[in-house]
Each structure stands twice: as structure tokens, then as C-alpha cells.
């Protein structure tokens, strides 16, 4: 790799800086690199801090940079002709996004916004491609990540194609429970999911989400707790999803 192609820190965005978060130690696709290699890559990135709700990527722009989430959460979204938001995924600390445009030179496939205060390392596409060549372990980690995205997208397409709105909400809650971790047939979603966020993920309205959750609460499937939403019978919820997936 040409070490003269380093990038300076960008202080134009996000107000005060938090230099303690300007490292790549938590980035999933870079975790197999040596600490020295990660430190070298830090100097090849620009760093920005984004405020909640701030747009990180506009799909109409022709940029091809790759973003690493050093801290915070970014959300991948698109908008329908009516302006309705469709949410695809939340990228937490350690995640990355923007790789497709860097790889094929095509347009952005979606918008990305900050969910909370989010620190990103921004790597130019040319440097990112050089990293993939120089570090095969990063390339393999990226391929595995893209494979997970394809599998998840396939499942979501099936849900949208075969399930009604109520059952898509069941399926999303089950996905969130599995993501959070299931213990003794229960799952706790922390913080409590926002109705509009669930609605954006499963292509329905927040009123429908509120109605379904109220019904689940009456049936004893979910309980609101101080710090989260408790799913009290994951097996039953899974059976309900499977019933309507046939």
C-alpha cells in the first residue's frame, strides 16, 4: 500500500471532537489485523461526529467512501414516493457501510442517517480497495458480512411477500429477540423499540404496530418493563411466525 496516501482528520463537522473514539479496534471487518496495521489505517481516514438524525449518506450523491462506525449507530433507510420511510438495517458500533459503491463504482443504494451521536471513520474508495488487496483477511471478513446481508435480505423479502402486516411485526420482534439473545425462552429488547422504527422496517404504520403490541400484551406475550420490552414466550412467538409462513 502507498503510505503517502494518508488522510488528515476532518474537524469541520460535529462540533467538539472526541479523540478517544478515533480508533478502529472495534470494527468487525478489521478485527483480524494487528494493532499496528489498524493504527496505520486510522491515519488514512477522515473522522466525523454526526448528530442524531443527521444524514451521513445521501443516495443521490456520487461519493464512494466507506464508513466505519467507531461509536454510535447509523440507520440505512430509503423513502417511498409518498415520503414514507423504509428502514433496512441499523449499523451499530463496529459495523461498516458504503462498501458496494467502493467496490463497483455504482450509485449509493440507500440513505444513511445517524440514530444517536455517531463517530465514523471515512475511508476513500481507492484506499479501501488497496486494503482488500493487501489484507486478505479483511476481504474474507467483508465477503462474510455481505453474505449475511444477502441472507437477511432474502428472509425479509419472503416476509414482505408472504406475511400480512401483523405477522411481519411478529417476525420483526422475533428477529430483535434473537439478536438481543434469548434466555429461558424469554427475550428482552432494550431500549423499548419505537413504534415508528418497527413500522419502517416492516412496511406498515405505527398505528398498526401499536395495535399489535397492545394485543400481544393482553395475550401475555409481551410485557413492558422499566428498561425494555420483555418477550415472555419466544417459542410461542416463533410458532406464530412459522404458522403464517407456510
3-state secondary structure string across 24-90: CCCCHHHCCCCHHHHHHHHCCCEEEEECCCCEEECCCCCCCCEEEEEECCEEEEEECCCCCEEEEEE
Q: Do 112 and 143 share a structural domain? A: yes
Q: Which three cell numbers stand for residue 237?
A: 412467538
**Cα separation, 84 vs 86, whole angstroms:** 7
Q: Do 149 and 32 share a structural domain? A: yes
**Cα separation, 222 vs 170, whole angstroms:** 11
Q: What is the pLDDT along the chain (246 residues), one digit of tens a residue?
A: 433 333 444 443 444 455 556 789 999 999 999 999 999 999 999 999 999 999 999 988 889 999 999 999 999 988 766 667 778 888 999 999 999 999 999 999 889 999 999 999 999 999 999 999 999 999 999 999 999 988 888 887 777 777 888 888 998 899 888 888 989 999 999 888 889 888 888 888 889 999 999 999 999 999 988 888 999 999 999 888 887 665
Q: Is residue 185 part of a domain?
A: yes
Q: Do 111 and 87 share a structural domain? A: yes
The total domain count for the chain is: 2
Edge-first strand listing for the sheet containing 118-123: 46-50, 118-123, 66-71, 96-97
Q: Do 95 and 25 share a structural domain? A: yes
Q: Which of 124, 158, 192 is the last residue of a domain?
A: 158
CB 77 within 8 A of CB 88: yes
CB 21 within 8 A of CB 71: yes
Measured CA to CA in angstroms, residue 114 lies from 61, 90, 120, 242 at distances of: 17, 9, 10, 33
Backbone angles phi, psi at 117, to 5 degrees: -60, 120
Q: Do 204 and 154 share a structural domain? A: no
Q: Do 112 and 84 share a structural domain? A: yes
Q: Is residue 50 part of a domain?
A: yes
Q: Is residue 2 part of a domain?
A: no
**Predicted local confidence at residue 2, as pLDDT:** 39
For the question of whether the overall pTM of this predicted structure is more than 0.75, the answer is: no
* Domain span including residue 136: 19-158
| Total number of residues shown for the chain | 246
Give 110-144 pLDDT, tens digit per residue.
899 999 999 999 999 999 999 999 999 999 999 99
Q: Is residue 1 part of a domain?
A: no
Amino acid at each position: 500500500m502507498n503510505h503517502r496516501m494518508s488522510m488528515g482528520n476532518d474537524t469541520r463537522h460535529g462540533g467538539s471532537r472526541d479523540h478517544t473514539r478515533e480508533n478502529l479496534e472495534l470494527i468487525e471487518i478489521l478485527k483480524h489485523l494487528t494493532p499496528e496495521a489498524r493504527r496505520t489505517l486510522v491515519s488514512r481516514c477522515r473522522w466525523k461526529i454526526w448528530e442524531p438524525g443527521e444524514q451521513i449518506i445521501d443516495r443521490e450523491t456520487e461519493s464512494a467512501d466507506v464508513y466505519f462506525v467507531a461509536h454510535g449507530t447509523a440507520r440505512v433507510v430509503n423513502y417511498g414516493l409518498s415520503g414514507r420511510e423504509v428502514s433496512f438495517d441499523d449499523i451499530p458500533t463496529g459495523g461498516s457501510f458504503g462498501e458496494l459503491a467502493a467496490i463497483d463504482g455504482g450509485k449509493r443504494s440507500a440513505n444513511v442517517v445517524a440514530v444517536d451521536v455517531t463517530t465514523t471513520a471515512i475511508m476513500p474508495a481507492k484506499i479501501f480497495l488497496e486494503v482488500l488487496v493487501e489484507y486478505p483477511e479483511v476481504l474474507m471478513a467483508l465477503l462474510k458480512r455481505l453474505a449475511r446481508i444477502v441472507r437477511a435480505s432474502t428472509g425479509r423479502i419472503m416476509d414482505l411477500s408472504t406475511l400480512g402486516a401483523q405477522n411481519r411485526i411478529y417476525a420483526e420482534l422475533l428477529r430483535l429477540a434473537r439478536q438481543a439473545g434469548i434466555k429461558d425462552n424469554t427475550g428482552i429488547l432494550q431500549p423499548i423499540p419505537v413504534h415508528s422504527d418497527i413500522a419502517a422496517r416492516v412496511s406498515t404504520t405505527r398505528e398498526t404496530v401499536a395495535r399489535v403490541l397492545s394485543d400481544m400484551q393482553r395475550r401475555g406475550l409481551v410485557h413492558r418493563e422499566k428498561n425494555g420490552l420483555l418477550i415472555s414466550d419466544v417459542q410461542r412467538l416463533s410458532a406464530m411466525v412459522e404458522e403464517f409462513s407456510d
